[in-house]
Amino acid sequence: MPPALTEIDPLALCAVGVAATALGLAGVVVGDWLAARRVGPWLAVLAVVAGGVAALVGLPAAGWAPPLALAVVYGAFRLVRSPLPGRAAALAWGLLQKPRLQWAGLLAAGPMLLGGWAYLAHQSFDEYQPDEGTLALSERLPLRPDTESVARTDRGRVIPLYLVVEELAPDVASLPDDTAYLSPRLPLRLIRTAPRSRDCNCHGWIFGGGRFWILGKDVATILKDNGYSPVEHPREGDLAIYRGGDGAVLHSALVRGAPGGVLLLESKWGQLGRYLHGPEDQVYGSGPTYYRSPRSGHQLRGLDGSTVPPEDEQPLPHGT
């Protein structure tokens, strides 16, 4: 059931029903008398004021919803009985009969339809799970924290590592073949360098040695602590980071070179395989930002054989 329905106050609903029944009965019995003496508008105004005051003082919905709802219904009835709707309909019908307005409507609708088509086409192309960098070939994969390994940045901050809960994950055999899925979207623009695997996602392949899943929300911490800086002219070994419109990290890749002037990246695509591709030839977005670090390699401390003290045990920088 939709949340909006489950959040309705039953007592308020009952109160509105009782009030509507009472008002309807009064209208049937003495409706003409109320109309003749114009009592109805004043009662509607009184209902709005009473309902507004009740809402402002914090009374439950059962106290202020009935008068407001009935005032709205009364106003709708008055509007229907007035000549205004008929006049507005006649005016609209007259405007619709004008040829110039009809052509202008087509002129306006054309670009709107084209824009909608372009948006839907982009949405169908750009399918991803932002946090886990997983293509939407199946439901979101269930992950569990890895409690046996500890990964830290160069400043000692812990980066959570995750593993797929295979018992709860969809059967790999039930998923469509990644080549068949991707070929219509990226024809002849992918070179698969590793088969499908759930051992890691894109961030885990780069920063976790291909053994873990790392969430996109933790990549910013890694970039900051491990000395990465944006560069305009990427070279082999640099990082390519893709972000969404809200700045969230969606995907990460490694620069593998630029043979013949064509920049090539390699990245792990969620639970799919690993691919060589151009910067635009992927399903996570466009316009990556490239990063470079003076450190050797991209793996986190603790996973590459090196260690670093926890952040709270590191010495303070000189001069502080």
> Are both 66 and 95 inside the same structural domain?
no
Number of domains in the chain: 3
pLDDT tens digits, residue range 100-126? 877 787 788 888 888 877 666 554 433
Handedness of CA 138, 165, 162, 304 (dihedral sign): negative
> Are both 110 and 220 inside the same structural domain?
no
What's the CA gap between 160 and 38, in Å, rounded?
Answer: 70
Q: What confidence score (pLDDT) does residue 316 get?
A: 40
Q: How far is CA 90 from the centre of its chain?
A: 43
Is 320 a domain residue? no
Kindly tell me if the per-residue pLDDT of 34 is higher than 70.
Answer: no
pLDDT tens digits, residue range 6-26? 344 566 667 667 767 776 666
pLDDT tens digits, residue range 152-181? 999 999 999 999 998 888 776 666 566 655
> Are both 166 and 94 inside the same structural domain?
no
Residue 178's H or E segment, with its range, is helix 178-182
What's the CA gap between 36 and 31, in Å, rounded?
Answer: 9
* Pick from 19-28, 52-61, 95-104, 121-130: least confident: 121-130
> Are both 164 and 261 inside the same structural domain?
yes
> Are both 161 and 294 inside the same structural domain?
yes
Q: What confidence score (pLDDT) does residue 90 get?
A: 83
What's the CA gap between 169 and 299, in Å, rounded?
Answer: 27
> Are both 294 and 203 inside the same structural domain?
yes
Cβ(81)–Cβ(75) under 8 Å?
Answer: no
> Are both 113 and 252 inside the same structural domain?
no
Q: What confidence score (pLDDT) does residue 4 get?
A: 38
Pairwise pLDDT comparison (301 vs 82), residue with the higher score: 301
> Are both 78 and 179 inside the same structural domain?
no
φ, ψ of residue 256 in degrees (nearest 5): -105, 0
Is 255 a domain residue? yes
Q: What confidence score (pLDDT) does residue 26 get?
A: 67
∠ CA 85-47-16, nearest 5°, is: 90
> Are both 303 and 200 inside the same structural domain?
yes
Is 290 a domain residue? yes
Expressed as residue numbers, the domain containing 98 is: 89-125
For the chain, the distance separating the N- and C-terminal CA atoms, rounded to the nearest angstrom, is: 58
> Are both 170 and 306 inside the same structural domain?
yes
**pTM confidence score:** 0.55
Q: Which amino acid is at 139?
A: E
| Cβ atoms within 10 Å of 161's Cβ, excluding its own | 26
> Are both 195 and 147 inside the same structural domain?
yes
Q: What confidence score (pLDDT) does residue 83 get?
A: 82
φ, ψ of residue 213 in degrees (nearest 5): -105, 135
Kindly tell me if the per-residue pLDDT of 29 is higher than 80.
Answer: no
> Are both 156 and 248 inside the same structural domain?
yes
Band (75; pLDDT cuts 50, 70, 90):
confident
Kindly tell me if the per-residue pLDDT of 132 is higher than 50.
Answer: no
State both tokens at 36.
């003749």
